Chains A and B, each alone.
Chain A
Amino acid sequence: MATTTVTCDIVSSDLLGGSNASSELSIASDTKLYQHGTTGTGLEQLNYHRAVIPTGTNFDLIQDSAALSDKANYVYIALKNTDETDYVILSIYDKVIGRLYGGDGGGDWAFFPWSDNTTATGGVDDPSGADSSIEIQAYTHDCEIEYMLFHSGETLLTASDS
């Protein structure tokens, strides 16, 4: 069993109340990535990528798969571009989640659970049809991203010469 801990800290000294120190914003949270239906068995499978997303096309970034469906999976995506006008749009099929922008000191990131609830009827490598694949499209310039998937299992492709 693996133990993976993910912590989040959101802080600002001047978003609330100006110079009033008592109004400082601080949200801190941490969680461990466990398998569904367990009190404390950690997820043991991981994909970790770095990729360049060309502009102009909406891509399947993380493909849906029957083995991932309705499980405890978690996704981390970080945009590495330093130009603040560069951004990517994240979506799940036809529903846009939002935009990650580049930034001088490192761009935006997102971390969220992913249940891959809708699996297309096509093959595992078939991007057609309504599904729950995580999609991404880059705007302004090509976008360099890092992304991780902590998951409960994925459907592997049978080799064509097997």
Chain B
Amino acid sequence: MATTYATIDITSTDIADNSISVSNRATLTTAGTDTGITETTGLARVKTSSGSNTILLDHGLTSGVAADVTADKSAKVYIRNTNDRGDGTKYVTILIVTREIGRLYGGDWMLIPWSGGSGEDIEYTASDTTETTLEYCVFYE
């Protein structure tokens, strides 16, 4: 059994009168157990210079990095836009199939659970044709 920790720290000294510091550590386990997740795609990197909608993680395919992800379990997906922020107008939109989740501006990251049980692919669309690099990693069972 492997042990994988995911830790988040959210800090601000000036968004409110008092400082905010939120810290949380999760142990990535298989669904409904305390057994550590043992499979990962490893950290991958993709470049895009297209403003078209593109599938990043195709759930249900018999090949590809997401082929072995079991649906409706406890998979987690990490994605980061490694570009510089620039003027703050360029971003990559991350979608769950056709529904927008949100925008990763340069330097932004996200960690979400991923079910994929009804063909919920994870997709992305760059805001323009500027070359953008995404790093991503799936932890799954």
Contact = CB atoms under 8 A, between A and B. Distances in A.
B93 A115 contact: yes
B74 interface: yes
Contacts of A113: 94, 101-105, 108, 110
A117 interface: yes
B29 A101 contact: yes
Interface in B12-71: 12-16, 20, 22, 24-29, 31-34, 36-38, 40, 42-43
Contacts of B116: 98
Interface string B90-115: 00011011111111110111111111
B115 A97 contact: yes
A96 B2 contact: no
B100 A132 contact: yes
B51 to A, nearest CB: 16
A87 to B, nearest CB: 7
A15 B99 contact: no
Contacts of B89: 36-37
A139 B3 CA distance: 25
Nearest to A99: B113
A106 interface: yes
A52 B8 CA distance: 22
Interface of B: 2-16, 20, 22, 24-29, 31-34, 36-38, 40, 42-43, 72-78, 80, 85-89, 93-94, 96-105, 107-118, 120, 137
The majority secondary structure among interface residues of chain A is strand
B113 A84 contact: no
B8 A109 contact: yes
A157 interface: no
A92 B96 contact: yes
A124 interface: no
A21 interface: no
21 contacts: A2-B12, A8-B111, A15-B3, A15-B37, A43-B15, A46-B20, A76-B10, A87-B74, A89-B115, A96-B115, A97-B114, A98-B75, A98-B113, A99-B74, A108-B76, A108-B113, A113-B103, A113-B104, A114-B102, A117-B100, A146-B22
Nearest to B31: A101
Contact of B117 (A31, A75, A96): A96
B10 A87 contact: no
> 8 nearest interchain CB pairs?
A98-B113, A113-B102, A117-B100, A2-B15, A12-B4, A4-B12, A15-B2, A112-B110
